[in-house]
Chain A
Amino acid sequence: KQEVTQIPAALSVPEGENLVLNCSFTDSAIYNLQWFRQDPGKGLTSLLLIQSSQREQTSGRLNASLDKSSGRSTLYIAASQPGDSATYLCAVLDSNYQLIWGAGTKLIIKP
């Protein structure tokens, strides 16, 4: 059974720092890996989708990598801003076309 883990559960960094969020999964048979952002009391917003054949995707200050063989993905955020404060979730699309989710990393950027 696919399991997705995100460590740490919470992270607090000063504004301006570059940071990395981690995601690991147990079964490499995935179609893609997706990163989402969730603001308190709100729905989820898609950030990046990496196909299983890809190694990374970039959008603005965000860069996501995927190492399928080792079951790992990272989300790199450059020059963090207070507006980046949110919970970040990763999810893998498994062989049954279902998204399996991590529990998220709560990120706080201190001004």
Chain B
Amino acid sequence: DAGITQSPRHKVTETGTPVTLRCHQTENHRYMYWYRQDPGHGLRLIHYSYGVKDTDKGEVSDGYSVSRSKTEDFLLTLESATSSQTSVYFCAISLGTDTDTQYFGPGTRLTVL
């Protein structure tokens, strides 16, 4: 399972509150990704990281920020959650380069009321 954990696994919050999701890996892989999955849309890339303090935006980055201060942790923050951010969030890593296959964490189900 490539040693990926996500926390929390489930969260219910209210509109306007900040939320931080954590992705943790145990094997010091360089590339890490945050996706969201919504019915009918497949997965969409939010942000990704190619090393400590090196991050970039994906397709749907508005309303999200990320940080990576250590190789093993990649944090996704919703500064002020909105109902449109209700989704399942997946973290992934690439074992080698950014063209290698990706391995996914178990997901976090976030509900914004």
**CB pair A98 B104 closer than 8 Å:** no
Q: Which residues of B are found within 8 Å of A34, using beta-carbon distances?
A: 101-102
| Of A43-51, A61-69, A73-81, the one with at least 4 CB within 8 A of chain B | A43-51
**CB pair B43 A43 closer than 8 Å:** no
* Total inter-chain residue pairs, C-beta < 8 Å: 44
Q: With an 8 A cutoff between CB atoms, is A22 at the interface?
A: no
Q: Which residues of A are found within 8 Å of B58, using beta-carbon distances?
A: 98
**CB pair A89 B105 closer than 8 Å:** no
**CB pair B90 A46 closer than 8 Å:** no
**CB pair A49 B101 closer than 8 Å:** yes
**CB pair B41 A103 closer than 8 Å:** yes
Interface of A is mostly: strand
In the complex, 20 of the A-B residue pairs with CB atoms within 8 angstroms, ordered by the A residue number, are A32-B99, A34-B102, A42-B107, A43-B104, A43-B105, A43-B107, A45-B104, A46-B102, A46-B103, A49-B100, A49-B101, A89-B43, A91-B42, A93-B99, A98-B45, A98-B48, A98-B58, A101-B42, A103-B40, A103-B42
Binding site for A on B (CB under 8 A): 40-45, 48, 58-59, 90, 92, 98-107
